[in-house]
């Protein structure tokens, strides 16, 4: 009887392991198929490579603010949520600035070799949102918008904070 129960338990374990592997491979396949797409975000056409998740938006002005959201390849729910909140604020409150080119946004995967310089440039230690004021293509000031993790669970406070920080930089 004990052998029969052990065999059933082992069989269930093997079966669940196989199901897990099949589901994992299917998810990897889906994400590879969706690796590159073109979409409209904040009324700006964006070509997004979801491996690097970097928005390619060129500024139209000699003075502009870059919003830089840094993340890794493996993203938790909170990381995705915070990026969504930032995009909502940009769309709802800064559409004009985006259209006229005085504000851009980039979502940057710091695990990609082409983006690794940001770790040194901004002394990154975790998922972060930075604002960078640029004049004639050169960064003149930047700031780590560092309360995003503290406010991540409070959508209204998070968005209010992001809006105020972006507004401060846009008005410089």
pLDDT digits (tens, 9 = 90+) for 59-82: 566 889 999 999 989 988 999 999
Question: Pick the residue with more confidence: 88 or 120?
Answer: 88
Average pLDDT, the chain: 76
In the sheet that 54-55 helps form, which strands lie side by side, from edge to edge?
36-41, 44-49, 54-55
User: Angle of helix 77-93 relative to helix 155-170, nearest 10 degrees?
Assistant: 50
Q: pLDDT tens, 15-57? A: 555 455 445 555 544 443 333 333 334 444 333 433 333 354 5
Strand intervals (E) in 31-161: 36-41, 44-49, 54-55, 63-71, 103-109, 128-135, 138-144
Tokens of 149: 């993790």
149-168: average pLDDT? 95
- Statement: residue 151 has pLDDT above 70: yes
- Statement: residue 131 has pLDDT above 50: yes
Q: Which CATH number fits domain 38-170: 3.40.1190.20, 1.20.144.10, 3.40.30.10, 3.40.50.2300?
A: 3.40.30.10
- Residue percentage of the chain with pLDDT more than 70: 67
Burial of 137 (0-12, 13-18, 19+ CB in 10 A): exposed
CA atoms within 13 A on the CB side of 156: 0
pLDDT at 1 (0 to 100): 74
- Domains of the chain, residue spans: 1-33, 38-170
Q: Are 131 and 166 in contact (CB under 8 A)?
A: yes
């Amino acid at each position: 009887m004990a052998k029969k129960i052990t065999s059933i338990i082992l069989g269930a374990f093997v079966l669940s392991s196989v199901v897990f592997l099949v589901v994992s491979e299917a998810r990897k396949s889906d994400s590879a198929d969706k690796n590159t797409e073109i979409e409209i975000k904040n009324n700006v056409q964006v070509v997004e490579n979801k491996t690097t998740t970097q928005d390619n938006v060129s500024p139209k002005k000699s003075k502009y603010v870059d919003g830089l959201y840094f993340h890794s390849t493996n993203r938790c729910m909170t990381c995705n949520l915070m990026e969504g909140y930032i995009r909502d604020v940009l769309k709802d409150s800064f559409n004009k600035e985006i259209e006229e080119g005085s504000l851009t946004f980039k979502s940057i995967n710091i695990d990609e070799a082409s983006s690794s310089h940001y770790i040194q440039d901004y002394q990154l230690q975790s998922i972060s949102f930075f604002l960078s004021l640029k004049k004639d293509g050169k960064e003149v000031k930047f700031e780590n918008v560092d309360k995003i993790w503290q406010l991540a669970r409070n959508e209204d406070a998070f968005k209010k904070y992001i809006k105020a920080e972006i507004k401060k930089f846009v008005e410089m």
